[in-house]
Structures are given as structure tokens and as C-alpha cells.
A and B are shown apart, each in its own frame.
Chain A
Amino acid sequence: MTYNKPIPTRGTHTVPFWEGAKEGKLMLPRCQDCNRVHWYPRFICPHCHSTNLEWVEASGEGKIHTYAVQHLVFGPWEPEAPYVTAYIDLNEGDRMLTVLRGVDPQKPEDIKIGARVKVEFEQANEDTYIPFWRVIEE
């Protein structure tokens, strides 16, 4: 089946992220001076303003920081509504936006802030694998 959702336009400095995603790896930018990771990818470390940045493979695990259920949706995601969006606190620090999998959008009260989640990648085209996060059954 063809992937019919928006496919991100790549920037000039995010190639390692998308190359990692192809292999199922979650790559994060890390500052070599203060050792902190950050998200989204910058040209400069937002913590200490160093430009000595590298890419490291992350655990691909995190926790739900907060979430919402999208009912009124326009565009390619409309047929999926209602669906759950969430911000994920990465184990390595900082936060990612995602569409959450393994949850019931009709029962939002059952989704738990702090619940553990794991990343998975869906192929969108030859070059692009998009990260989604799934709640881990405890």
C-alpha cells in the first residue's frame, strides 16, 4: 500500500537521522562539549551554543509526556481521525512529537501520562522511514 501521509522534506543537516531511520535506528544529535542531546536537530547546541555536534544512536525508548486526540482533522490524516498525538520524553532527554500507536482513541482517559513507549519506523518511500511510537504493554 502506498504511504499517503505527509512525507517530511529533508533539511541539509538531518541526513544521519533519516539514514539511521532506514535501518530502524533512532539517531539523535548530541553536543560533544556538554554531552547533552537535543531535539529537533540544530546547527548549534541550544544548551551551551557549541557547534561540535555528533549523531548518536538512542535507545528508542521513552515515556508519554502528554497527548491529545485529534478529531477535527484536514488533509491526509483526515481518514484516520480520531487519532492520538503525543509528545514523548526520550530516555536520553528532550522530547519528540508523534502519532501514538497501541492506544484506543475512543478511550483517551485510559492513556497514561508516563507510560513507556518504544519507537518503530514506517516506510513512506524508498528513502524515508518515519518514526512512530507505540505503548509497551507492561
Chain B
Amino acid sequence: MPGQLYKSAAIVGAAEANEIGFLAEPKTSLQLHIEAIKNLSNQTGVPISKIEGVFSTGWSSELCEHLGIKPKYIDTTAVGGCSFEMHVHHAMAAIHSGIIDIALVTHGENGFSARKIGGRGTGNYGRGAGVASPAAEMSMAYGLGSAPSNYAHAMVRHMHRYGTTTEDYAHIAKVTRDWATLNPRAAMYSKEKHPFGGPISVAQVEESRLIAWPLTILHCCMVADHGGAVLIASPKVAAGLNTKPVWLAGAGESMGHANMLEMEDFTATSASRSAEAAYTMAGMGPGEMELAMIYDSFTITAAITAEMLGLAAPGEGHTLWKDGHAAPGGRLPINTNGGGLSFNHSGMYGMPLLIEAYRQLSGTAEDGVHGDVGKQTSAKTCIVNGTGGALSTTGTLVLVADD
């Protein structure tokens, strides 16, 4: 039996900033937010003034001020890239309880432009207790900082436990790039678009530059510019709109740790718990998922997450890609936009997951706002999972098409 929040709300629109990727002229994070929100309003026909709840990382109040709106519900959950899946969960609860009927979940992050003009827009995520944190005190001596420097430890443990190889994971990068070559908005769409774009081979992934062994650069996501927003509405409001609703059937969230120092099992994440909650609410299981949008910060993230979501047995996540199931034309398409590996990743990738899931299930993956051509699948169900921090926090959603 489905849970209380089952289909209590729907995503009724999803849009991106006017330009995304490696912007030649730098933009601020706020600018990327506003472009996406304006496009979302145009797409759905819902005026910005009608937004009742605003969900974003850290700085929701500044966004509302900039938009000149006074919402009834404000959420600033900022626990890394999965925050946006959690925002949707929270918006479902707020709508179900009758506090609001229309919620905006919004993202803007100039991961690439920040190199020139600063202001990354992560909403203070990761700053935490700063130097007053004993975890930082006991880790800062050893020079770990970037995400790959941490995630590589999980990959080594996974290889040790299951006998997986770097080549196994390289298939994830290769297949995800294949999807990107179908999506003109993907940063790595083609050689013309980016010198390192276009199709890649497993051997190329293996032979690319080492970042943190065993992760080569093609096992790692990019850091580019992205802005995106989705609108969540009650069934009553959704019925009056011209856009197609995509129903929120299940949602769940959890965490394992904040610092990798506290990661109990380096081969598992809290996605097992957030997925269980989402499946239970939806009254569905992994066998009924026809599409998966999985945060692929690194190939290892995607592999472990596929295992946690029950889409593959423990230690066999990579086989979904290696055996072609996740590829264009496969039985379980995964990351049809080209993923954080080859589409876009600004630092927090939860929003692009939501946008692509909406487009696929609303049939607008080819002609929605910036939907572009070639990657529409026939999927009617989708599991979306975001991961935040250092394999720390997770948010999972089960989405179902309207028909």
C-alpha cells in the first residue's frame, strides 16, 4: 500500500538557465537561478508572483528578495548535491499538509565562472563548523580537499571487496558519454562543442590523466556552470496547467556521515535507506523502474548507487553499463542527459537529475524548454537519486508519468 505522500504533488515544469556549460562570459550563481526561474515561469504559465514556497540551498531568502516575492514556506536544506531531491521531498510534505500549493525548487551555481568572478553559490555547504570541527582538526594535516581525493578511497575498497576493476567502471564513463552525444546541451556533446567532447572509448578512460588513483580524469565529473528549476504543484493546481504533470510517487532521504572519516562501509551509501523509503511510499520496487537518473560525480558513485537502489546486486552495479543495459536502446536507460560526467555538473548535480527525469516522463526530452533532440525514451517510471558530500547524504525520488 502506497504511503501518505504518494502522488500528493507533481512536478509540473522543469527548465534551465539560458546557457549552461563552460560559459565564455562568466555569470553569477544568482543570474543562473533567475534565468532558470524565468524560463520555468514561461513554460508553465505560472507567474513568479504565485510561487508560495521556495526551496534552495542556503540562500533561499536572498533569492526571494531578488524575485520580490514573500513565500509562505522557506527551505534552505544544503547538504550537498542531493539537497534538491530532499527539497522535492520537503515540498511534497508542505503541499500535502495544505500549507502551500505551488513550490519552486531552484538551483544556480557558477562552478566554472567562479574561477573568474567567484561566488560559487553552494549555499555554505561544507563550511559547517569550520576549524572548530574536530573532524576537520583531525583531517586537515593530510592535504585532502577535492571530491576525487576522497572518493578514490571508496573505489579502492569496492575493488578490494568485489574484485571489480578500473576497466569495469570505465564502461560507465563511456556509456554516459554516448548519451551526451545525443544531447546538444551536453558540455561534451561533440568535438566542435568542446575539444575533449564526442565519443570516448574504455581505453581512453583508462589512459587519461590520473587525478587520484584509481580515478583518472574521465572517471570524474566536470565542474561547469548550471542553473535549473522545477515547479512542484498540488494535484488541484496541476490539473489547471497546460504542462504535463509527472507524479511524485515516492520520496526518501537519509545520511551515513558528514565526513568520509566516519563512513562505516566504503562500499555502501545511505541510498539503500532513502530508496527503501521511496519505494515503500510508491508501493513499487526496483524491478518496476524503467529509467534511472543517478548522481555520477564519479563512475564509482554511479556503480555503488545502482547497487544501493536495488538495480543491481552488490558488487555488480557496473554491469548495467558494461552489458549495455544503461546505454541508448538498453532495457534500463541511465543518465540520459549525459550525466555529471559528460552533460554538466556545477558542483551540486541534484537539479539536472530532476530536470531530465521530468523531461523524459513528460515526453519533452526532445522538445521541452531546451529539451533538445535524440534522447527521448519510452520510460513511464523513473528513480532519481542524488548523493551529497563525500558519499554522505542521499535523497531518492520515484517518479511516474501521467498516463
Contact = CB atoms under 8 A, between A and B. Distances in A.
Given A6-B140, A13-B134, A41-B134, 20 more contacts: A5-B141, A8-B140, A9-B131, A9-B137, A9-B140, A40-B139, A65-B266, A67-B156, A69-B152, A69-B213, A70-B144, A71-B213, A76-B143, A77-B142, A82-B213, A86-B153, A87-B260, A87-B266, A97-B261, A113-B156
15 contacts: A8-B141, A11-B134, A14-B137, A14-B138, A68-B152, A68-B214, A69-B152, A70-B212, A72-B149, A72-B210, A85-B142, A85-B144, A86-B153, A87-B153, A96-B138
Nearest to B142: A99
A136 interface: no
Interface of B: 131-132, 134-135, 137-146, 148-149, 152-157, 160, 209-215, 259-262, 266
Nearest to B135: A40
Contact of B145 (A41, A74, A97): A74
A99 B215 CA distance: 18
Contacts of B157: 65-66, 113
Interface in A57-106: 65-77, 80, 82-83, 85-87, 95-99
A118 B260 CA distance: 22
The interface residues of chain A, by DSSP majority, are classed as loop
A129 to B, nearest CB: 11
Contacts of A80: 143
A85 B266 CA distance: 15
B139 A97 contact: yes
A66 B214 CA distance: 12
Given A40-B138, A71-B211, A66 B144 contact: no
Interface string A25-40: 0000000000000011
Contacts of A10: 137
Given A41-B134, A71-B211, A72-B146, A85 B153 contact: yes
B140 A11 contact: no
Contacts of A95: 261
A130 B138 CA distance: 9
A14 B211 contact: no
A39 B131 CA distance: 17
A48 interface: no
B134 A42 contact: yes
